C-alpha cells in the first residue's frame, strides 16, 4: 500500500510539472495563443465569453444558429494590479495549458463515471437530473444566482431600466416605429425539477420576474417575461435543449406568441402549427464546453424547425421587423419570419447596434430582447444612440 501511494504521488508530481513545462516550451517556440479547441472557440465566441479583436465586425446570426450565448458588451479596459493582475496571468496561462481540452474531457468523464452519471466536474457546466445541463458560469451572467433568487434588483435599478425602456419607446414612437421588449427566462427557471437538489432556492421570484412585475406596475410598456407560458408548454413538448443553454424553436414560438398576445391581442397554441425535425442527435453548447463533444451519450437533442406556412394568416403583419437581441434572437427572429415580411425580418446584436440601422432597415417594429441573466442590460444598452 505504501509503495502504491508513493507511485501515485510520483505520477501526480510528474504530471503537474510536465504539463506546465510543455506549455512554457510551446509558448517560447510560438506566440502564446488560446489553448481552446476550435469547437470551444466557436461556442465561446457565440456566447460572448471570447472578446473580438479590435476592428472585428459583429455579425448578425440567422435562423440556423444552434448554439451560443449572447456576445457581451466589451467592458472598459482597466489596468489590473496586485492580486488581480496575478490572477489574470494565471488564468491566461491555465487557458493555454498543453492538452487542456483532453484534460477537461477526461476530468468530466471520470467524475461522471465515479458518481454514476449524477455529477460532472466543470467550471461552467452543471449536470442536472434527466441528463439536462445547466450553465453555472459566473463570468457570463449569473444564471445560478438568478435561480437561487439571491441577486434581486433594487427599486432604483429597476427604475433606471424602466426609464431607459420608456425613453426608447418614446424615441421610436417619434419616428413612427412600434416598440416591444422581451426578457427570456433562464433555462433553470423553466426546468427547476431538473436542477440538482444541492442548489437551494432562497426566493423563487427571479430577477426577470421581479423586473417584469415592476415594469407592469409602474409603466405602460409592453414588456414580456413568458415564464408562465413556457411552464405550461413544457407539459406537452421539450422547449429548451437538454445539452444547450437555449430554447429550441418550439420554445421560441411559445415566447413570440406571448409577445403577440400582449402587443396585438392575438395568440396561437403550439399544437396549431407544425415543426420539422432536422436532427435527433444534436449536442449543444453546454455539453461542448464540458468537453463531451466526442461522447455520443449526450447527442440526445432534437432540432426542430418552425414550418412558417402553418402560421395563422390572421396573425400576419405586413411590416418590417428589426429584432435587437442576443443569441436567443436567432430562433425568435426565425419564428417572426412567419408573422412579418419574410425578407424584411432583421436580427442585430445589442452590442453591435447603432442608430443608423433604423435608416438602413426602415423598420415598422422593433423588438428588444435580452436573456434573463443579462436583463440588467435593458438599462445599459442604448437603442437611441
Residue spans per domain, the chain: 125-380
Cell numbers of 192, please? 427547476
At residue 251's C-alpha, the angle toward residues 249 and 254, to 5°, is: 110
CA 156 to chain centre: 26
**Cα distance between residue 308 and residue 343, in whole Å:** 13
- pLDDT confidence of residue 107: 46
pLDDT tens per residue across span 219-271: 999 999 999 999 999 999 999 999 999 999 999 999 999 999 999 999 999 99
- pLDDT confidence of residue 65: 36
| Contact by Cβ (8 Å): 377, 164 | no
**Cα distance between residue 24 and residue 20, in whole Å:** 6
Cell numbers of 184, please? 427570456
Strands 223-224 and 178-184: parallel
- pLDDT confidence of residue 184: 98
- pLDDT confidence of residue 291: 83
CA distances from 345 to 128, 131, 252, 306, 364 (A): 36, 35, 15, 15, 10
**Cα distance between residue 18 and residue 37, in whole Å:** 20
CA 292 to chain centre: 19
With 0-12 / 13-18 / 19 or more C-beta atoms within 10 angstroms meaning exposed / middle / buried, residue 120 is: buried
| Contact by Cβ (8 Å): 289, 40 | yes
**Cα distance between residue 246 and residue 252, in whole Å:** 9
Residue with cell 392575438: 266
Of 13, 42, 28, 15, the residue nearest 99 (C-alpha) = 15
Of 70, 75, 159, the residue nearest 350 (C-alpha) = 70
| Contact by Cβ (8 Å): 127, 118 | yes
Give the H/E segment covering residue 217.
helix 207-218
Positions in the chain whose pLDDT score sits under 50: 11-12, 15, 19, 23, 32-36, 40, 43-81, 83-85, 87-119, 121
Of 326, 350, 351, the residue nearest 69 (C-alpha) = 326
- Taking the model in full, what pTM does it have? 0.74
- pLDDT confidence of residue 162: 98
- pLDDT confidence of residue 1: 62
- pLDDT confidence of residue 2: 67
- pLDDT confidence of residue 113: 45
Residue 301 backbone phi and psi in degrees, to 5: -90, 145
- pLDDT confidence of residue 20: 56
Of 199, 50, 56, the residue nearest 126 (C-alpha) = 199
Amino acid at each position: 500500500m505504501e509503495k502504491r501511494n508513493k507511485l501515485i504521488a510520483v505520477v501526480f508530481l510528474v504530471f503537474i510539472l510536465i504539463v506546465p513545462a510543455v506549455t512554457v516550451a510551446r509558448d517560447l517556440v510560438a506566440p502564446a495563443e488560446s489553448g481552446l479547441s476550435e469547437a470551444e472557440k466557436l461556442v465561446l465566441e457565440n456566447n460572448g465569453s471570447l472578446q473580438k479583436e479590435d476592428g472585428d465586425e459583429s455579425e448578425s446570426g440567422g435562423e440556423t444558429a444552434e448554439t451560443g450565448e449572447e456576445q457581451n458588451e466589451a467592458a472598459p479596459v482597466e489596468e489590473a494590479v496586485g492580486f488581480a493582475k496575478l490572477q489574470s496571468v494565471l488564468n491566461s496561462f491555465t487557458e493555454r495549458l498543453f492538452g487542456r481540452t483532453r484534460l477537461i474531457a477526461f476530468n468530466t468523464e471520470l467524475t461522471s463515471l465515479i458518481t454514476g452519471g449524477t455529477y460532472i466536474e466543470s467550471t461552467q457546466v452543471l449536470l442536472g437530473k434527466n441528463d439536462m445541463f445547466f450553465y453555472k458560469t459566473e463570468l457570463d451572467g449569473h444564471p445560478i444566482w438568478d435561480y437561487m433568487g439571491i441577486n434581486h434588483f433594487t427599486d432604483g435599478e429597476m427604475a433606471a431600466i424602466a426609464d431607459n425602456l420608456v425613453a426608447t419607446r418614446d424615441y421610436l414612437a417619434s419616428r413612427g416605429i412600434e416598440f416591444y421588449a422581451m426578457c427570456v427566462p433562464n433555462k433553470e427557471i423553466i426546468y427547476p425539477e431538473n436542477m440538482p437538489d444541492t442548489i437551494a432556492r432562497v426566493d423563487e421570484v427571479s430577477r426577470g420576474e421581479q423586473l417584469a412585475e415592476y415594469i407592469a406596475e409602474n409603466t405602460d410598456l409592453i414588456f414580456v417575461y413568458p415564464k408562465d407560458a413556457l411552464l405550461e408548454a413544457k407539459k406537452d413538448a421539450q422547449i429548451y435543449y437538454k445539452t444547450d443553454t437555449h430554447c429550441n424553436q418550439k420554445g421560441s414560438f411559445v415566447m413570440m406568441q406571448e409577445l403577440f398576445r400582449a402587443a396585438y391581442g392575438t395568440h396561437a397554441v403550439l399544437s396549431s402549427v407544425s415543426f420539422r425535425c432536422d436532427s435527433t442527435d444534436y449536442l449543444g453548447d453546454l455539453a461542448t464546453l464540458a468537453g463531451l463533444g466526442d461522447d455520443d451519450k449526450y447527442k440526445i437533442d432534437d432540432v426542430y424547425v418552425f414550418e412558417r406556412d402553418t402560421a395563422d394568416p390572421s396573425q400576419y403583419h405586413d411590416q418590417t421587423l428589426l429584432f435587437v437581441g442576443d443569441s436567443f434572437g436567432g430562433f425568435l427572429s426565425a419564428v417572426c419570419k412567419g408573422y412579418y415580411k419574410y425578407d424584411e425580418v432583421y436580427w442585430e446584436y445589442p452590442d453591435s447596434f447603432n442608430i443608423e440601422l433604423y435608416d438602413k432597415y426602415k423598420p415598422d417594429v422593433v423588438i428588444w430582447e435580452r436573456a434573463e441573466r443579462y436583463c440588467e442590460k435593458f438599462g445599459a444598452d442604448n437603442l437611441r444612440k
